[in-house]
């Protein structure tokens, strides 16, 4: 979606996952920060997240489509999503565990469509306007899963789908071989997806930030990344939470979450964005 000027969407993922994540979103709103959010229909604090958005007058959110993370499916009839869950009736632990049945061909794509449809419907029933679609661990980029996402976006009139395709220029700061390999792996799935989105009359971001530095973004890194933004819409996905030590111990992948929240509220990145002429927007 190439446009003139530099614009950035700062999107807070995982709202609805837990109370600490919801509190972080409210703190950002209360500070006057323009951010977008992606809500997890399967999260334990989903209802509270919907109430938060309504109370702040922001009755809109993207849907953070989820097939991993050991959540219970939205679909109440578990027989309709039986290939998507383990013996405990919950989704696979993470994308690595998801990939095994996916590549074996034992996942039923029609069941993914059923579950994603229910996740989107749950947000709409809650009275929120769905602004975009993205996914937990970028699972919507998998072939087959992406086709389902496109179909549901058209069905529900959702115009925007996130493409987590990050420029190699972002790797120049705080380089990590592990993250580079993860980055290359994701790019294999994002290839040619933009053309499919445009072909179907939808839009997406031009560029993406937040995958390569996931779990270690701070103000210094964000300022560096802002200096490498080109014209068009760049989406930054981050995961702030107003978390205590117990929460981080339980969910270690949130180890950087307090840094990200502090960065958003107090960092120098906003001055950097203004200096570079980057407009902060909430949606395309």
CB distance 4 to 278 below 8 Å: no
Give me the mean pLDDT over the 12-34 stretch.
Answer: 96
Q: 37 pLDDT exceeds 70?
A: yes
pLDDT at residue 172, rounded to an integer:
82
pLDDT at residue 2, rounded to an integer:
45
pLDDT at residue 185, rounded to an integer:
85
d(CA 211, CA 238): 9
Indicate the average pLDDT of the chain: 94
Identify which of 187, 172, 267 has the alpha carbon closest to the alpha carbon of residue 227. 172
Which residue is associated with the tokens 């950087």? 256
Half-sphere exposure of 182 (CA within 13 A, CB side): 16
User: Domain boundaries in the chain?
Assistant: 6-281
Token pair for 249: 């111990």
Q: 228 pLDDT exceeds 80?
A: yes
- CA distances 76 to 42, 79, 111, Å, are 12, 9, 13
Question: Is the backbone of residue 127 left (phi > 0), alpha (psi -120 to 50) or beta?
Answer: left
d(CA 121, CA 49): 16
pLDDT at residue 283, rounded to an integer:
82
Give me the mean pLDDT over the 42-57 stretch.
Answer: 96
pLDDT at residue 55, rounded to an integer:
93
For the ranges 3-12, 71-80, 129-138, 243-252, which has the lowest average pLDDT? 3-12
d(CA 85, CA 73): 8
Q: Which residues of 226-235 are buried (b: 16+ CB within 10 A; e: fewer)?
A: beebeebbbb
Reported as a pLDDT band with limits 50, 70 and 90, residue 4 is low
pLDDT at residue 206, rounded to an integer:
95
Architecture of domain 6-281: Alpha-Beta Barrel (3.20)
pLDDT 10s digits, 97-117 = 999 999 999 999 999 999 999
For residue 119, the tally of other CB atoms under 10 A from its CB is 25
pLDDT 10s digits, 152-194 = 999 999 999 999 999 888 888 888 888 888 888 888 888 889 9
Contact partners, residue 227, CB within 8 Å, separation at least 6:
272, 276
Q: 76 pLDDT exceeds 80?
A: yes
């Amino acid at each position: 979606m190439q446009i003139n000027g530099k614009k950035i969407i700062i999107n807070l993922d995982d709202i609805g996952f837990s109370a600490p994540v919801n509190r972080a979103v409210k703190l950002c709103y209360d500070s006057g920060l323009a951010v977008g959010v992606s809500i997890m229909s399967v999260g334990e604090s989903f209802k509270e997240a919907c109430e938060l958005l309504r109370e702040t007058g922001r009755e809109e959110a993207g849907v953070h489509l989820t097939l991993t993370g050991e959540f219970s499916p939205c679909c109440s009839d578990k027989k309709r999503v039986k290939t998507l869950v383990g013996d405990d009736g919950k989704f696979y632990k993470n994308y690595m565990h998801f990939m095994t049945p996916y590549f074996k061909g034992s996942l039923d794509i029609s069941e993914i469509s059923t579950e994603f449809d229910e996740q989107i419907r749950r947000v709409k029933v809650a009275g929120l306007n769905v602004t975009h679609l993205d996914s937990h661990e970028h699972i919507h980029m998998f072939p087959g899963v992406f086709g389902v996402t496109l179909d549901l976006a058209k069905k529900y009139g959702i115009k925007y789908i996130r493409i987590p395709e990050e420029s190699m220029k972002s790797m120049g700061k705080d380089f990590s071989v592990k993250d580079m390999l993860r980055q290359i792996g994701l790019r294999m799935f994002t290839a040619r997806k933009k053309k499919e989105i445009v072909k179907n009359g939808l839009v997406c971001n031009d560029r993406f930030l937040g995958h390569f530095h996931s779990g270690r973004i701070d103000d210094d890194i964000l300022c560096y990344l802002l200096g490498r933004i080109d014209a068009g819409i760049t989406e930054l996905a981050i995961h702030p939470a107003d978390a205590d030590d117990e929460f981080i111990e339980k969910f270690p992948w949130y180890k950087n979450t307090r840094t990200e929240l502090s960065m958003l509220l107090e960092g120098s990145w906003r001055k950097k964005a203004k200096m570079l002429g980057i407009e902060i927007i909430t949606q395309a």
